[in-house]
Structure 1
């Protein structure tokens, strides 16, 4: 009898350990699960978050997903990848977005992929637009007596170089690229929020706004924090008080790695890049 009890206890311990480490596994049954996705800081590399979203989408035990955003924006490509991943997730299960202190520009771009958006009255959001920054060192180079020569295969290959002034032709070329990205942003908001392009364009001038103002413009659905967002998500998914909230186990990194990762992100986005910010 003792041996059977000990064996059963051992099996259960192994199962619990496996289920915690592999929440996507079919062995991880029991109470319904709600997935938690974090989007924090500058959006530069979305690989880990994209992998986690895919796992939540494929796990039949996950009935709904809460996305918590605390981000001022970031690089265009990764922001669009996260937006697309949440749209695919939303096709299979309810997704509610909870905005923290800030969910602006690229952060807001990601948010519109959810079924509902919940913002605090004082959340900073909006900032709908695209920005490109170029640094020009030509004057400094001349003072130092340094000359630079570039050989390029096309007239726009060196456009944006910090060592040359933009020509009017190059400026028009870059402005066309920025406005194309801006149009993509506006269309994504129009589709995600069921607003006309004209209504979105009225506030798509780069302005920052509070959650309360965003509610008036139809950019968010409800005022509240994470708890209110979780309650709304449970109602959409038909989940009672008994559920497990799970988050990406790879997110638990030591503090020194988080700091170094933030510094690395800042260094990686220096230079002529287009950002939702």
Structure 2
């Protein structure tokens, strides 16, 4: 509550006036100056961890699936009815290649119409990778962003395999053919060196594209990169963000760049499905056991997607497992397995 008071500039108030969801949901867009009108502005929402494709463990409406988002971006780019685009990002990052593919598509989109990236709570690492493709980036003062860096690694399941009496043998040809397949043994020194070079190359690519996108020299970008996480306010002072504000600020900039008068009403068109609302989440849970299983399934999805180099803000992956009921058997199994990964 203290942070919320600070964010809305009401530090001296003992309590804040709150609006319950039933009233909030009935507010018409037209009363905010964003409903109706002839000009259309597309809103593309990107929320959650980034993966290339949907996995078998994917939870409905969870995460940013690059192949799906790219299709939506291309649909907007090829349409002449949208005057501008707002890319609303809330993501700690994820797959580095997927982030790079979306960066390219957003750059192409920006060549055809005005694009404004609007950061929500988090737009870090792969989330920032997406945002930096837009000519204008808007962030909240307390948005977590930056984290221009990559991580890579490999699960070594030798002890787990021994415990469950599982034997794995691989037939291969070529010195590095087993690099990703051989999870039953540690990396050889030459394999570890190759892994490190891969991460360094991915980092250099990320940093250099960030420098190009933000019109900085590589040396300038290096001083604010290296995986550092910044608040929106700090990012703005270092040239990583253009403007401070929320969605309304992004909308005003989108109107300006599309040469739409600020007092003219526009219609916002949601291109990608938004994250589920609180009532939808609560109605979908149904009970504590199902709720835990849903969270665990989401974590399993993230675990199984950790292939190759990741542009992901460190420490975000398993935080959803904290403070969950310990008696759930699926939760205990995942928690026990993840201990082998730590």
Distance 2:168 2:257 in 1: 61
Correspondence 1:63 to 2:83: yes
Match of 2:243 in 1: 222
* 1:158, distance to aligned residue in structure 2 (A): 1.3
- For residues 1-277 of structure 1, the aligned pairs below 5 Å read 31-44=38-51, 45-142=65-162, 147-160=167-180, 161-240=182-261, 241-248=264-271, 262=298, 265-270=301-306, 272-277=307-312
Q: Whose Rg is larger?
A: 1
> CA separation in 1, counterparts of 2:170 and 2:191?
16
Find runs of 4+ consecutive structure 1 residues off by over 3 angstroms. Answer: 139-148, 249-257, 259-265
Give, in whole Å, the separation in 1 of the partners of 2:183 and 2:249.
47
**CA deviation after TM superposition for structure 1 residue 137, in Å:** 2.5
Q: 1:249 to 1:68 in 2, by over 3 A?
A: closer
Secondary structure of 1:171's counterpart equals: helix
Q: CA RMSD in A?
A: 2.4
Per-residue CA distance 1:85-117 (angstroms, 9 max, x = gap): 111111011101000000000000010110100
Decide which moves more: 181-190 or 200-209: 200-209
TM score, norm. by length of structure 1 = 0.81
2:59 alignment counterpart: none
Q: Secondary structure at the match of 1:132?
A: coil
Give the distance between the partners of 1:71 and 1:200, measured in 2 at CA.
21
Q: Give the match's secondary structure for 1:68.
A: strand
- CA deviations on 1:44-95 (whole Å, 9 max, x unpaired) are 1222221211121121121110000000001122211211111111101110
Output the TM-score relative to the length of structure 2.
0.66
5+ residue gaps, structure 1, are 1-29
C-alpha change, 1:165 and 1:264, in structure 2 (3 Å) is closer
